[in-house]
Amino acid sequence: MKKKLAKKIALVTLGATLIFSSFGFKSDFFEIAKQIEIFTTLFKEINMNYVEETNPAALMDTAIKAMLADLDPYTNYWNEQDVEAARINNSGEYSGIGATVQVIEDALLIMEPYKGYPADEAGLKAGDEIIEIEGIKVADYTDDVGELLNGSPDSQINIKYRRQGEIKSTELTRSAIKLKAVPFYELLDQKTGYIVLSRFNTKASSETIRALKDLKNQGAEEIILDLRGNPGGLLTEAINVSNIFLPKGELITTTKSVIEKYNRAYQTQKEPVDTQIPLVVLVNGRSASASEIVAGAIQDLDRGVVVGARSFGKGLVQRPKELAYGTQLKITISRYYTPSGRCIQSLNYAERDEEGNAIKTNKEDYNEFKTRNGRSVFDGGGISPDVKLETSEYSNITNALLSENAIFDFATEYYYKNELSDPEAFEFTDADFNNFKSYLKTSDFDYKTATEKELGELLATASQEGYEQDILDHYKSISTEIDAQKKKELDEKKHEIVSILTDEIIKRYFYKEGLHEYYVDHNPEILEAKSILNNTQRYSEILK
């Protein structure tokens, strides 16, 4: 009897060991269970006993977001609306008004109306601020207010919006919106094909193949693939786009994780379209994720020349995990590596500075790798181009101008003050740049340098210790010097700022399509790409 009992206990113990070891996590199972029990008890007590009525859903949403904030910005909780938004983003199809919008304090700011879609046909412009949708004030709406713009095709929607301080109303008829992965392609000079790939949705590779074949039929003997501003998307499509120019069975990227099952090597699966046609890939600081996988593979395998500026450096791999009630957790599971072994990721979210910002890899810590031909390439985050151009770069001042919509708002003001009937006639002059600098002085733009932030902390500490008056004069003197340097920085980065201002202004008059047409003859990166492709010796030397 005792032997049977001992055998049963041994089996139970073994079973428990198998159950707990199968979780195979980075954390102890019992510690996880303990913390879940503590949280569940806490949540229950707060909702049952707090002095005022609580909103359990809102409390839980806050708790989840606070927990995830300690990880990376790509690990997110998705409610049902977020899940649907992700589906739309991957498919490129939805039903709505056809415009990119951004939530601001009390309105939805129209960033870009798509040509020929309801918002455009109703006369809405970039810079318009939607303040009311079907009688619902945007400022009072607590959920995802942008969802109010979507609905079934042919349904009506009434909105109020603010334009240059004036309140206007309009009625729109929603329609099916189809966002192209390749919004533009063209034969430039009888032999140079130019393809813009703007997103890696489910149609990215098929639309790129269609564009490439059409251009080759028109006589294209060389290709420029423009990935600037492409935020990425589906990993499978990054592999498939690479496969267009690289042979079957070629390693494109590997993913590495502390969880063994997420360690994978991704290779091309299909026959290529053209492995010989000379190729230039354009990237900039807003080329991320899947864009970097493609650019990294092309560079590491010496299949083409990369031109522009270092890409964003988003090398973290996410996977959606189903939760209850139609929600999901989009969780980072591994990191991307290029064929040579370079890690794409730029920021280390496990290490943060005093302000809680993720640490960026220092240049002195970059590691050297070799391409197939033996060329030296380096990690450190993102893809560093073979040919760097200042107009592609995004300095601290430029990123601040973009994040605070200073360039966008100036373009709005420019649009309502100036007429422009032909993009070929446009030139952003020195006088225009001086007007932009004057505009910044009267706007809410506030750019704080790292030095200013540290000085502010120093002054606060001095105040606490009673030394504020002693150092205040020195502080004012240094601040005056910093202001002078900031003004100087605007001029030093004029080339990149003017390039972005030009893009934004051209779009206001001629939409994204007009901007691509303007690029063909004026954009420095495209002109440089054409120069490289048209010089066989230079092209070959870069890849040797």
432 assigned to active site? no
Rounded to whole angstroms, how far apart are CA atoms 195 and 156?
A: 36
Active-site pick, 120, 300, 379, 386: 300
Q: Of 287, 289, 311, 334, which residue is the catalytic one?
A: 289
Report the b/e string of 329-346 with b at 16+ CB within 10 A: bbbbbbbbbbbbebbbbb
| String of DSSP letters for 396-461 | HHHHHHHHTTHHHHHHHHHHHH---S-GGG----HHHHHHHHHHHHHSS-----HHHHHHHHHHHH
Query: How many other CB atoms are there within 10 angstroms of residue 324's CB atom?
Result: 5
Q: How many CA atoms lie within 13 A of 436 on its CB side?
A: 25
Between CA 316 and CA 462 the distance in angstroms is: 41
Pairing of strands 184-187, 347-352: unpaired
Distance CA 440, CA 499 (A): 17
The two beta strands, 184-187 and 175-178, are: unpaired
Residue 248: count of CB within 10 angstroms of its CB: 12
Active site residue 152: no
Give me the phi and psi of 390, to 5 degrees please. -60, -35
Nearest one of 32, 52, 54, 51 to 43, comparing CA atoms: 54
Instruction: Classify 390 as helix, strand or coil.
Output: helix
CA 243 to chain centre: 23
By CB neighbour count within 10 A (0-12 exposed, 13-18 middle, 19+ buried), where does 375 fall? middle
Task: Tell me how far apart the alpha carbons of residues 4 and 27 are, in angstroms, rounded to a whole number.
Answer: 34
Whether 453 is a known active-site residue: answer no
Tell me the β-bridge partners of 157. 172
Q: Are 349 and 378 in contact (CB under 8 A)?
A: no
Nearest partner of 522 among 420, 422, 436, 395, judged by Cα: 422
First to last CA, the chain: 78
Quote the distance between the C-alpha of residue 89 and its chain's center: 13
Active-site residue among 125, 203, 314, 530?
314
For the annotated catalytic residues, the residue numbers are 289, 300, 314
